[in-house]
Amino acid sequence: MAPPLHVLVLAAGEGRRLRGAVPKVLTPLWGRPAVCWPVAAARALAPQRLVVVAGEHLPAIERALAGQGVSFAQQASPLGTGHAVLSAEAALAGVRGVLVILYGDCPLVRPQLLQALLELHHQRGGGLSVLSMQVQDPTGYGRVLRDADGGVIGIVEQSDATPEQRAVREVNAGVWALDLPEAWADLRRLGSSNQQGEVYLTDLVGLRVAAGRPVHALCWDEPSDVLGFNDQTQLAEVRELLRRRLLAEHLSRGVEIVDPATTYIDADVSIEPGARILPCTMIEGRVSIAGGCEVGPFAHLREGTVLQAGAKVGNFSETKASVLGPGVKVNHLSYVGDAQVGAGTNIGAGTITANYDGKLKHKTHIGERAFIGSGTVLVAPCSVGDDALTGAGAVVTRHASVGAGEVWVGVPARLHQRRGSNKEPTV
């Protein structure tokens, strides 16, 4: 029987080279802060405890991970990765089993990778296991040192490496498995005699080897799975790899994506098989798209959009916080925000729901089979009934209610006649 599993995510790095407006681990990546990705990978293994170590931005990280079953520890000062792990000792007090350690700025980590390292750790009798990888350019990584028999004898950080060691292409991938509670004593023995004056987690390797205790290493053959980011160039690479992965998941489930190169879909978007996504489309936040829908080209679907079966949004149109019923069409140069649109309704080119009054957002309700003429402005809150019609360029003002089957025209729009009638109403 495998020992209990626990996971520690190190998320105290500042990421100053990014020069971003938020801490590195809170950098948005396809609808989620970066730290949420490794946390999700860890949660897939169902650990008994999942602890995130943060620095001065702990409150913001706590908010980002609220409701995800995570405990927190704080690293009061940025004194290195070994010190960061020791900062979690109180949060893991009394815990026995295996502790997996990974970094909060590695959003491409998969559960399969963590599971593979755990399997190696168990097969080799536990102790300390590290994940490594072979890379063409090892710049910035700690180098994995081996003896003549291939055994791991140390990991040296680049700033402390000799020219010969810097030529090594096997590098530390930043994922660890170690046994608790034994590891705490080793961690407390680590020093800070290095170029950075920090406590390195990687020094655990040399410490164990010097004591005659083995270190196991799994060389992972997909370096992109543990790719992190320290500057904007690396962030762009991570973002692109993650985008492709998300698209591949939708494609595998039967979603048609005509041009993946120009399609951008956030992680929390739900798309049913049989939907069709056309080029130059961006879908952000929690969006739900039913089968038979068509989105794009040049469409922008935002948080809270729901497209029911057969609805269409395209050609420079945008939706936000709106439910479009079955068969609704929003095809040309329109904005539909904070709206409920009934089945079979057609939204004409250039229509907008004016949902914001400068302070608050307001709702627009449009019934079934309505026909909203080109260039209509619906000033929320307002409503349009079933089978109603607005003329081209109509401005339906606040609190107005277009009745079922009525035709409204003009600025401001007024009742003109009822659909199917050639007689103007008595006003």
Residues annotated as catalytic (active site), given as ranges: 332
Q: How many C-beta neighbours within 10 Å does residue 248 have?
A: 12
Within 13 Å and on the Cβ side, how many CA atoms surround 138?
A: 24
Q: For residue 101, give both structure tokens.
A: 């350690």
Q: For residue 272, give both structure tokens.
A: 């049913």
How do beta strands 270-271 and 288-289 pair?
parallel
Q: How many C-beta neighbours within 10 Å does residue 21 have?
A: 7
Which are the contacts of 233, defined by CB distance < 8 A and separation ≥ 6?
A: none
At residue 81, φ and ψ (nearest 5 deg) are -70, -35
Dihedral sign, CA of 205, 210, 211, 214? Answer: positive
- DSSP class of 126: S
Number of H helices, E strands in the chain: 8, 37
CA–CA–CA angle 73, 75, 78 (5° rounding): 155
Q: Among the residues of 65-110, which ranges form H helices?
A: 81-86
From CA 69, how far away is CA 7, in angstroms rounded?
12
- DSSP class of 204: H
The full length of the chain comes to: 427
From CA 414, how far away is CA 408, in angstroms rounded?
5
Q: For residue 419, give both structure tokens.
A: 């659909």
User: What torsion, rounded to 10 degrees, do the Cα atoms 252, 253, 259, 262 define?
Assistant: -100
From CA 356, how far away is CA 353, in angstroms rounded?
9
Q: For residue 151, give both structure tokens.
A: 């055994």
Which are the contacts of 119, defined by CB distance < 8 A and separation ≥ 6?
A: none
Q: For residue 230, give both structure tokens.
A: 């320290």
